[in-house]
């Protein structure tokens, strides 16, 4: 009986037309840190969680770097996995033209080295994630920003952003 009700709602939704589906899709918001956009003084800052080579490659392919500042935050805490060798399986050449404004996190220097091998210019390397996130988002006001980060780096980045902008409380990262 319950499945029949669900099926009927699906049929009703399908018959409601394309615009209704588009409107419904527009209401979907990403989970925290997974494409979440935080407004910092008029600059959209998008957090992009990266956990493996394929996910990182897809994130890079999904968001053109032109017109945006880019930051990469890499930690190797337990929840991230200790082995960061997977970063060598990611093609970062799409960032050559714009470079990376900031690299941060526990493994910032490893990430900077990886980018150097793909001839991606890096402006700043700073292992202090919280302060580097604040500096990054305050640079070039009004310009959109992408922050690619591992899980624990994302939690710390959200916490840092929460000190300077409204960040929806997801019960983590503070």
Per-residue pLDDT, averaged over 67-75, amounts to 96
pLDDT band of residue 5 (cuts 50, 70, 90) is low
Per-residue pLDDT, averaged over 23-52, amounts to 77
More confidently predicted of 1 and 22: 22
pTM for the full predicted model: 0.80
Per-residue pLDDT, averaged over 15-33, amounts to 65
165 has a pLDDT exceeding 90: no
Give the separation between CA 150 and CA 79, rounded to whole angstroms.
Answer: 9
* CATH superfamily of the domain spanning 31-162: Mur ligase, C-terminal domain (3.90.190.20)
42: region left, alpha or beta (phi > 0 left; psi from -120 to 50 alpha): left
Domain ranges, ordered by start, for the chain: 1-30, 31-162
């Amino acid at each position: 009986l319950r499945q029949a009700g669900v099926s009927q709602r699906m049929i009703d939704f399908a018959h409601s037309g394309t615009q209704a589906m588009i409107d419904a899709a527009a209401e979907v918001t990403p989970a925290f840190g997974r494409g979440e956009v935080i407004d910092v003084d008029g600059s959209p800052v998008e957090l992009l969680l990266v956990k493996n080579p394929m996910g990182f490659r897809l994130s890079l392919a999904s968001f053109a770097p032109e017109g945006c500042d880019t930051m990469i935050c890499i930690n190797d805490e337990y929840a991230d996995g200790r082995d960061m060798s997977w970063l060598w399986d990611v093609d970062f050449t799409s960032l050559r033209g714009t470079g990376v404004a900031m690299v941060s996190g526990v493994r910032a220097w490893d990430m900077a080295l990886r980018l150097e091998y793909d001839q991606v210019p890096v402006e700043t390397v700073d292992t202090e994630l919280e302060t580097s996130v604040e500096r990054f988002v305050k640079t070039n006001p009004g310009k959109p920003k992408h922050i690619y980060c591992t899980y624990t780096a994302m939690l710390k980045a959200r916490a840092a952003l929460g000190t300077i902008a409204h960040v929806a409380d997801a019960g983590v990262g503070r």
